[in-house]
Structure 1
Amino acid sequence: MGFLDMIGWPRDPVAEKRMITEIPGIERPGANLLQVYGLGNVELPSVTVDSALTVPAVLAAVSFLSRSLAALPLHVYRNTARGAERISGGLQTLIHEAPNREWTSFKLRQHFWQQVFTTGRGLLWIERSGSNITGLYPVNPTKAKISRDSMGRSFYEIGGKVYPAADIIDVPFMLKADGVAHYGPVVMGAPAIQLALAMNNYGSRFFAGGGVPPLALEGPLPQGPEAMKRAMADINRAIESAKAQEKPIFPMPPGHKLTQVGFDPDKGQMTEARRFAVEEIARVYQIPPVFLQDLTHGTYSNSEQQDLHLVKHLIAQWARALEQEFNLKLFGQRNGGRFVDHNLDGLMRGDFVTRMNGLAQAVQTAILTPNEARALENRPAMANGDDLMIQGATVRLGSQDDNSPEDTTEDDNSTGDAVTPDNEDESA
């Protein structure tokens, strides 16, 4: 007589056979009770780029950083006697608008940064026609083989073709000691990501099972491995049937009881551990936690400081890495005064009132012309708007002496009666 016979539950041979095979570890030789319930010596889930992106914190970090960097305005400039001037033409269109016939600049750069923050390397191929640059195309970094010859020159083998380093835009997350291979954030942050994956899997299994934790049956148990398998299958089917019929309880045979095995999520500090996993992943990407939607310790003031930290110590550094790679590969080591530059003002626009006050102050202090300020707001230029202006009360230090009243002593002497010495009066 089995467990279900003892409590009067009808048997279902087909379901019983199915449940025996569904219990993890039952069919494996040597499996013990702890392994059956996932409490034994089991391996953590493997970490790949695809599995890492199922962790919300990793997905948020990669998507936020890649979109933020791709959204920065990117222009081509030339140094002149009057300073840097933005150039127009095909190269500006290629960098700022459409790097090729299929990709927009935003789409290409977003994909590029996604590779940097997952696989650890972003690659672009520069298409040339003679001395002209005609396109930029993304390269799958997992399919590229990078090598270096005895002269120190690097080569990229892609799709059976070999390209010199001058034709490949290459930004690694972190280079290894040989200067060729690289470290990736997903690989280096694998332990933290593994922990997050394990907690996600445990939480999914726990709540998918109706919140029923692993249980141990106490009382007189059947003897023999086959009888134990049948008893365990009976217990499992009894729990499943109770959940399916929305019954809060199910009968137990006399002298038996079910005892919880392991810790429940609350006692195991699962909530705190998952929050700490977000902080660990934020450290991997060096991103303030507030941008991973973790406002646990966020206040109005420190959230603003984290915004400044993001631009100064993260976005600006990655933007400079791409700028210098563009400048070297597009214009050569001696670039002739041409360069590519991001406009970080795109991340620091602020609210409308603050932005208007900042532009007004820049115009009034002769930093921007009115038309330059209007261009930042995508407004057309106006007549007489290309002159620098300054507040009338602001003058050069020391220039106030130029406007002081002149000394009129000499004029008074020349226009009035002459003053003669006393001895001259006497002689007259």
Structure 2
Amino acid sequence: MSLIERLASALPARVRSAVYDVEKEKRLTLTDGSAWSQLFGKGAASGKRVTLDSAMQLSAVWACIRQTAMVISSLPMGVYEKRADGSRETISDRLAEVLTVSPNADQTAMEYWEGQIAWMMTNGNSYAERTDSRLGLSDLRILPANITSPFRNADGDLMYRTVDRGKQEVLPREKVFHVRGFGFGGDMGLSAISFGVQTMGTALAAEESAGKLFGNGMQISGLLKSNQVLKPEQRVQIREMLQAYSGSEAAWKVMMLEAGFDFEQLSLNPEDAQMLETRRFSIEDICRWFGTPPIVIGHAGDGQTMWGSGVEQIMIAWMNTGLNPLLRRIEGRIRKDIIPPGSRVKRYAEFNREGILQMDSKAKADFLTRLVSNGIMSRNEAREKLNLPRRDGADDLTAQTAMAPVQDLG
């Protein structure tokens, strides 16, 4: 067994794929950072190494990923087929069941899509192993993106390498449902955590510094000055005395110095060091990497409130520029890779963007009222969107009139 294989056997299964890349993929060498960065992360100038696990310890990173994944996974999805007259028909077959109800034996549709969006936000890619039966797609099982990677074989065919129960597997492209995030058109999307290593490394260092600051009872390092030379046993006594006054539980206790000792503070206080300002900027900088407005994760800028029309416009912009591109990527990849080739022109899957209006009852009421009063939607169609039963006589399209003969008013 080679040195690299022995190293791989001692590592968790989720990081073995990177080691196997170096050992078995001849195009990689021990100097290739892309493979080894999955094992040990990337080093930032702050001295912190940034990995998926360490980045997720930052509340801003966690919130950006969580909010985006939860919002998108909660949107209803349907599979439709275009009719000759331009209308569409809802399809309820096995493929629709996999995409919208039960992707696999263990997950609901919301849990599946939440996980896939989370991988896209962190890794830039989401993977799922697909199982097909004689009736078509029957199962989609998430492949963790940190142990799955695409590569081209000697013939130029796209293949996928992953790890299953400690063993490396190679899957052909038709067995993997791969959604790529933002990138330059290659076989992989780009990872925000990998490219934002400096921002997140700085944030990790600031969080650690803040934790140590409070852990020491807000007392910054300083000097104890004495006009006499201390004996070794006296030095031990002084060190034990100082330890009794360290820690947050000892904050605001009064220390007595004797034998001519004076305390001189060396470092700046927290206000002068602008610790809070540094941490505030880190939150906003992290939000840039994930395309999430700070207000979405509960962070308001200076002078900005959490309510009002301005916030509403920010949310609308986030839906259009942040969420919609992710939705279009998923819908396009479903149509290309999952819908059978002969049905792609007419059949497609689509997230219902109107589901976002569920968060604002007034906006949804105004939206439905305008559609019904302008003859675009019947009252029964509007009731269906509110999960209300259909009513007799409410299938006709209606429109408001400014002036009408009295006999036409019924």
Relative to the length of structure 1, the TM-score reads 0.75
How far apart are 1:164 and its partner, in Å? 2.6
Cα deviation for residue 202 of structure 1 reads 1.3
Q: 2:179 aligns with which of 153, 158, 171?
A: 171
Q: Which amino acid aligns with 2:52?
A: V
Instruction: Find out whether 1:365 has 2:374 as its counterpart.
Output: yes
Residue of structure 2 in register with 1:314 after alignment:
322
Aligned match of 2:312 in 261, 283, 304? 304
Residue 180 of structure 1 deviates from its aligned partner by 2.5
Letter in 2 for 1:269: Q
SS at match of 2:244: helix
Change (3 A) 1:163 1:393: farther
1:93 deviation in Å?
1.9
Match of 1:216 in 2: 223
Partner residue in 1 for 2:119:
115
Q: Which residue of 79, 88, 106 corresponds with 2:92?
A: 88
Partner-residue secondary structure (3-state), 1:175: coil
Distance 1:376 1:216, change over 3 A: same
Cα pair distance change 1:337/1:394, threshold 3 Å:
farther
CA distance in 2 between partners of 1:325 and 1:303 (Å): 32
Asked if residue 64 in structure 1 is aligned to residue 72 in structure 2, the reply is: no
- The question of whether the paired residues in 2 share the 8 Å contact of 1:222 and 1:231 is answered with no
Partner of 1:207: 214
Shift in alpha-carbon separation, 1:271–1:232, aligned structure 2, 3 A: farther
Mapped contact 1:94–1:100 kept (Cα < 8 A)? yes
Aligned counterparts, 1:124-273, within 5 A: 124-149=128-153, 152-158=156-162, 159=164, 160-175=168-183, 179-220=186-227, 222=229, 227=232, 233-242=236-245, 248-273=253-278
User: What pairs with 1:20-59 in structure 2 (closer than 5 Å)?
Assistant: 44-59=47-62
* In structure 2, distance between residues paired with 1:231 and 1:175: 63
One-letter code aligned to 1:99: P
Q: TM-score if structure 2 supplies the norm length?
A: 0.78
Point out where structure 2 has 5 or more consecutive residues left out of the alignment: 1-44, 405-410
SS in 1 for 2:271: coil
Alpha-carbon distance, 1:115 to partner = 1.2
- Asked if structure 2 preserves the Cα contact closer than 8 Å seen for 1:75 and 1:341, the reply is yes
2:209, 2:90 → 1: CA distance? 55
Counterparts of 2:297 and 2:159 in 1: how far apart (Å)? 37
Secondary structure of the 2:243 match is helix
**Which blocks of at least 5 consecutive residues in structure 1 are unaligned?**
1-41, 396-428
CA contact (8 A) 2:245 2:255 kept: yes
Given candidates 61, 76, 83, the residue that maps to 2:79 is 76
Contact 2:129 2:175 (C-alpha < 8 Å) held by counterparts: yes
State the Cα distance separating 1:351 from its structure 2 match.
3.4
| Alpha carbons of structure 1 residues 283 and 103: separation in structure 2 relative to 1, 3 Å | same
1:377-398 Cα deviation digits (max 9, x unpaired): 1112223333322234599xxx
Deviation at 1:320, TM superposition (A): 0.4
Helix, strand or coil: the match of 1:107? helix
CA deviations on 1:180-231 (whole Å, 9 max, x unpaired) are: 34431112112111122112111111111222111222234758xx95xx76
Please give the secondary structure, in 2, of the residue aligned with 1:77: strand
**1:303 counterpart SS class:** helix
Over alpha carbons, which structure has the higher Rg?
A: 1
SS of the residue corresponding to residue 67 of structure 2 reads helix
How far is 1:90 from its partner?
Answer: 2.1
* Equivalent AA in structure 2 for residue 365 of structure 1: N
Whether 2:363 is the aligned partner of 1:386: answer no
Give the 4+ runs in structure 1 shifted more than 6 A. 244-247
CA distance in 1 between counterparts of 2:131 and 2:273 reads 56
Q: Is the 8 A contact 1:127 1:167 kept in 2?
A: yes
Distance (whole Å) between structure 1 residues aligned to residue 189 and residue 362 of structure 2:
45
Mean Cα deviation higher: 146-155 or 132-141: 146-155
SS of equivalent residue, structure 1 residue 124: strand
Partner of 1:407: none
Shift of 1:376: 0.7
Q: Tell me which residue corresponds to 1:281.
A: 286
**CA gap 1:175/1:357 in 2 versus in 1, 3 angstroms:** closer
Percent identity, aligned pairs only, is: 22
Structure 2 CA distance for partners of 1:182 and 1:235, relative to 1, 3 Å = farther
Question: For the structure 1 residues 79 and 221, does the alpha-carbon distance in structure 2 shift closer, same or farther, using more than 3 Å as the test?
Answer: farther
1:21-78 per-residue CA deviation (whole Å, 9 max, x = no partner) reads: xxxxxxxxxxxxxxxxxxxxx9622211111111111111011011011111111000
- Cα RMSD of the aligned pairs, angstroms, is 2.6
Q: Distance in 2 between matches of 1:247 and 1:67?
A: 43
1:387–1:89 distance in 2 versus 1, CA, 3 Å: farther
Aligned residue-pair number: 349
Relative to structure 1, the CA distance from residue 247 to residue 326 in structure 2 (aligned partners, 3 Å threshold; closer, same or farther) is: closer
Moved more, 144-153 or 197-206: 144-153
Distance in 1 (CA, whole Å) between partners of 2:320 and 2:50 is 31
Counterpart of 1:28 in structure 2 is none
Q: For 2:353 and 2:242, how far apart are their aligned partners in 1? A: 59
Q: 1:150 to 1:269 in 2, by over 3 A?
A: same
Deviation at 1:349, TM superposition (A): 3.3
Mapped contact 2:58–2:204 kept (Cα < 8 A): yes
